[in-house]
Structure 1
């Protein structure tokens, strides 16, 4: 029983499910897309075994392990003037309304985006919030604002928006896996082992 944020479906979870199917074909998995806090509550109540979250800390009794570090990208309407002028700094967008994932859905993401803007010298005006990337992209496409997202989220959507990867900022979007320390489910341990093996292989390469 695996909980996840939408961004985890772009890379980490599909890879994990394929590895599980290959090495442990008898393990059955069920997925549920829910917010960070909902995953934590479900794990504490033994309704989920594993969660993919963007959190800096978790309650006592849970283990948090980072599995994927992502850059952030700016999302602009396809015909935004800055694309012709040339993008130099996010400060160029200080007067724009911002469209973000809800603070309740992912507090760490929200606070990190705030810090990105504050580092550039402004506090963004947040005009719309959502829990779905597709909704955010649709609002940007409709010229209702700009957005900042984890870069991996841009894949799989066909919309009239442009992405600018923010490589020069120090902030990164950290996706972590969380589980209950006293959970003795053998399938859970297999999942954790596979995730750690994948990380080691990526570091070596």
Structure 2
């Protein structure tokens, strides 16, 4: 047997009349005239199959059937109100879930302050963070596995994605403490010619890899890559072990290893850029809110922004 559908307007009218036990007062609360209220109650009673109110001159009271229906009607209305509030919060970007990809080195710079600021602005949004290098982030954005990325050296050939610069930072030379060039405060880049290099694989971050090799090319040499490592922590560990030297974003200096020295590079005009990335067709308020927070924390102007 099919269950009768009870229109919410009729349940609302029923609950208000049950609380007021007066048609005139209930109609005033509902902002309608008494005849439409009486019609709503009659339609509901027809669906239930029993009277919900006993009516006598000057007196309205709930019947046993009305007493039985009242708690369920209140729960239904409360659940609807809660559902509507939750839907509005998600639709406006004040609640829900968002997925953020980030380059590991950003945990040493902008990421902690960004997450703190975002949670303060949007405490009801659950943010999932995924550590990954640039190329995997771009793939994850295209495949809708993350919503926003924080990556180094965004590409120029991704028309379906949007990018906005968050910050720029210089490069440093990463050297074993026993390296002769570690004795000074700065390293002339050309003097690294002939040294074995430890770098991130190009397939994980082609923009950053190419920027480093172009820096070396401008200094008159091509870096001899002896080892690859996906994480900067591992790069530094391999340098400490004497397997080579490296060039890295300056934030890497926060990695503390006893056998590693970080030195300023000269000439020092080249910088690496960090960008926020998102799908260009994504206008969800959750994404907009996160991007606003990212750019505010980075303090850098948008480059090809939304």
Query: What TM-score comes out, normalization by structure 1 length?
Result: 0.91
Q: Which of the two has greater helix per residue?
A: 2
Q: What are the equivalent positions in structure 2 for 1:20-169 lying under 5 Å apart?
A: 20-54=118-152, 55-84=154-183, 87-166=186-265, 168-169=267-268
Deviation digits for residues 149-193 of structure 1 (CA, Å, limit 9, x no counterpart) = 000122143331100122533221101010012223322111111
Deviation digits for residues 77-113 of structure 1 (CA, Å, limit 9, x no counterpart) = 0111223477551222212101111101111111111
Instruction: Tell me if the contact between 1:71 and 1:173 (Cα under 8 Å) persists in the aligned partners.
Output: yes
Identify which range, 38-47 or 134-143, moves more after superposition: 38-47
Query: Partners of 2:143 and 2:187 in 1: how far apart?
Result: 47
What are the ranges of 5 or more consecutive residues in structure 1 without an aligned counterpart?
none
Instruction: Tell me if the contact between 1:10 and 1:155 (Cα under 8 Å) persists in the aligned partners.
Output: yes
Instruction: Tell me if the contact between 1:71 and 1:167 (Cα under 8 Å) persists in the aligned partners.
Output: no
Q: Which has the larger radius of gyration?
A: 2
Question: Residue 290 of structure 2: SS of its match in structure 1?
Answer: helix
How far does residue 197 in structure 1 lie from its aligned partner after superposition? Answer: 2.6
In structure 2, relative to structure 1, the CA distance for the partners of 1:199 and 1:132 (3 Å cut) is closer
Query: Partners of 2:295 and 2:187 in 1: how far apart?
Result: 37
What are the ranges of 5 or more consecutive residues in structure 2 without an aligned counterpart?
1-98, 302-306
Find out whether 1:175 has 2:290 as its counterpart.
Answer: no
Query: Partners of 2:283 and 2:114 in 1: how far apart?
Result: 19
Task: Count how many residue pairs are aligned between Structure 1 and Structure 2.
Answer: 202
Question: Residue 125 of structure 2: SS of its match in structure 1?
Answer: coil
Instruction: Tell me if the contact between 1:103 and 1:110 (Cα under 8 Å) persists in the aligned partners.
Output: yes
How far does residue 58 in structure 1 lie from its aligned partner after superposition? Answer: 4.7
How far does residue 11 in structure 1 lie from its aligned partner after superposition? Answer: 1.7
Bigger relative CO (Cα 8 Å, ≥ 6 apart) = 1
* Alignment RMSD (CA, Å): 1.9
Query: What TM-score comes out, normalization by structure 2 length?
Result: 0.62
Deviation digits for residues 23-43 of structure 1 (CA, Å, limit 9, x no counterpart) = 110011011112222211211
Instruction: Tell me if the contact between 1:2 and 1:51 (Cα under 8 Å) persists in the aligned partners.
Output: yes
Identify which range, 14-23 or 177-186, moves more after superposition: 177-186
Question: Residue 168 of structure 2: SS of its match in structure 1?
Answer: strand
